[in-house]
Structure formats: C-alpha cells, structure tokens
Structure 1
Amino acid sequence: MIIDSLEHASKYKFGPAWEKTFEFLAKVDPAIEEGKHIIDGDNVFALVSEYKTKDYDKGRFEAHRKYVDIQFLISGREKLGYASLQALEEETPYDSERDVEFLKDLPEVPSISTLIPGIFMAFFPQDGHMPGLAYDKPEPVKKIVIKIAINAL
C-alpha cells in the first residue's frame, strides 16, 4: 500500500501505466461525470462515483488480483481500512469476472487512514482494503478509483 500526495506520484517508478494514471489525475476536472473513463484500454481506466460514506461496522474488506486500485477523492473526506491478506479471512470467494473478493478482519486491528483531496492511496493484490468509511459521520464524497492492470506495471 502507498499513501502519498499527488505531487509525489512521479517518485514511484512503476512505468507508463502509472504515469498515465497520474497525468489523468493531475488534469481531472472536478465536474467529471460518474461512470467509467478509459485512459489506456483495459490497462488503465477510472471509475468515478459519488456516494455517502458509511460507519465502520457497515464496511467490508476487499482485495483484487488483476488490478491495482488507486483511490483519489475529488471532494469530501473518507477513511479507508488496510490489512495485509494474512490478517484477513475469506468472506466471499474471489470472483474473477469482477476481480474482487470480500474478506473479514481477524482479531488484529486493521490500520485506518484518512483520504482527502490531493492524497492518493494505492492498493496492490497483497493489500486488503475497506473503502468508503465515514471520517466522523457519514458524508457525501466524489471519488475516482483508477484500475491499473498488474501486467501493465
């Protein structure tokens, strides 16, 4: 997992797909419409959504095998949980079509970090993450999740 500011993204040398991701984020119009936005075919695309954050007890850990998730807020505040896959156990088996499995946390306390505009979080296949958590109380957010194919890095 990586947590950093958008201005530092170029310090990570993961190749052209990574660079295209952060070029997109640096130029994104806050009025971008919800939905899927193609950046580089199936290798890099953005999913834009607006929703209300939720309390921790309503969250679910997830993990992906084919894509890295880059989470970036346009507006609002959100907390995200993080735990390595070894600290989680399967709740819903991996769905290869949707590239997601849902997990539940074991007694170890996961790490909780705050996401605000200008900061990104990158989650790799070994990273379980629980997005969409309320900062203090549920609030509306606008978010971009960029999917980078593992084989494009």
Structure 2
Amino acid sequence: MIIDSLTSAGKYASLHPLFAKAFEYISKQNLTSLETGKFEIDGQHLKAIVSDKPGVTAAESIAKFECHNKHIDIQVCISGRETIGWKPRASCVDQRGEYNEEKDVVFYNDAPDTYFELTSGQFAIFYPEDVHAPMIGESMIKKLVIKVKI
C-alpha cells in the first residue's frame, strides 16, 4: 500500500507499466467537476469509477473488507474526509465466501489492523495483498478509483 498526495504522484509512475497512464489521466481531469459513473481509460486495462456519496460507518465498511486478485486500486479522495481500514492479506485468516472472478473481489471477516484518513488531493494505492475497507466518514465523500489491470 502507498499513501501520498497527487502532487507527488509522478514518482510512482515506474512501479507498474500502466501507472504513468493512470496518473496522467488523473492529472488531466478537473476532479471537482467529474461526473459520477464508470469510464474506460484504456480498454480492459484501465478503468475509472467516480462516486460521490455519504460516508459509511466503520462497521458498514468492514462488512465489505475486500481485496482484488487481478487489479490494483488507485483511490483518490476528491473531496471530503475518507477513513480507510487496512490489513495485509497475509494476516487475514477468515475469508468470507469464495473469490468472485467476475467482480474480481474477495471478502474477509477479519478486522483492519490500522486506519488512515485521506483528504482532498490525497490517494492510496492498494495492491492485491492489501485488504481495505474504504468510504468511512460522516459526510459526503467524492472519490475517483482507477482500476489498474495487473
């Protein structure tokens, strides 16, 4: 997992062949005026999801404590204050159900080891080994998630 500000995003471009294109896409957007929805950036390799909705309680988010096998998430906080729970996948012991290949998601009943907060202009990168519980907050949270195919 990586946590940083968009002003420093360039230093992560070399970590994955598609990160440069993902961060270029982010930098060219007027983030505050992005409409909600799902958008293709580069076919099946890069997709954007924009949401603007009320934050949820920690319990609601932990109920969907998730990670992915085929995608890396770049989650950008556009506005609001988003708290995210995190735990390394290797430390999780209680998988809930089977891996959903179509949605590329697996859930865990485990609890996060730590929580951190993102505010406007900050992002987190979640690799397949990062189990995360996003969207915890008490007000509206607008965010952009870039799904990067591994």
- Same fold? TM cut 0.5: yes
> Aligned to 2:33, which of 9, 31, 34?
31
2:115 paired with 1:112: yes
Number of corresponding residues: 145
Query: 1:87-112: per-residue Cα shift (whole Å, max 9, x none)?
Result: 22211321000001111215xx5110
- Per the alignment, residue 80 of structure 1 pairs with 84
2:59 paired with 1:54: no
2:5 paired with 1:5: yes
Query: 1:27-62: per-residue Cα shift (whole Å, max 9, x none)?
Result: 212211111111111111100111111111111310
**Runs of 4+ residues deviating >6 angstroms:** none
Q: SS of the residue aligned with 1:105?
A: coil
Give unpaired runs (5+ residues) of structure 1. none
Amino acid at match of 2:54: K
Kindly report the root-mean-square deviation, in angstroms, between the aligned alpha carbons of the 2 structures.
1.3
Amino acid at match of 2:27: A
Query: 1:6-40: per-residue Cα shift (whole Å, max 9, x none)?
Result: 12122121244101111111121221111111111
- Per the alignment, residue 134 of structure 2 pairs with 131
So what's the TM-score if we normalise by structure 1? 0.89
CA distance in 2, matches of 1:98, 1:90: 16
- Per the alignment, residue 20 of structure 1 pairs with 21
- Per the alignment, residue 74 of structure 2 pairs with 70
Q: SS of the residue aligned with 1:33?
A: coil
- Per the alignment, residue 102 of structure 1 pairs with 107
CA distance in 2, matches of 1:58, 1:8: 31
- Per the alignment, residue 149 of structure 1 pairs with 149
Amino acid at match of 1:94: Y
So what's the TM-score if we normalise by structure 2? 0.91
Q: Percent identity?
A: 39
CA distance in 1, matches of 2:116, 2:29: 23
Amino acid at match of 1:62: E
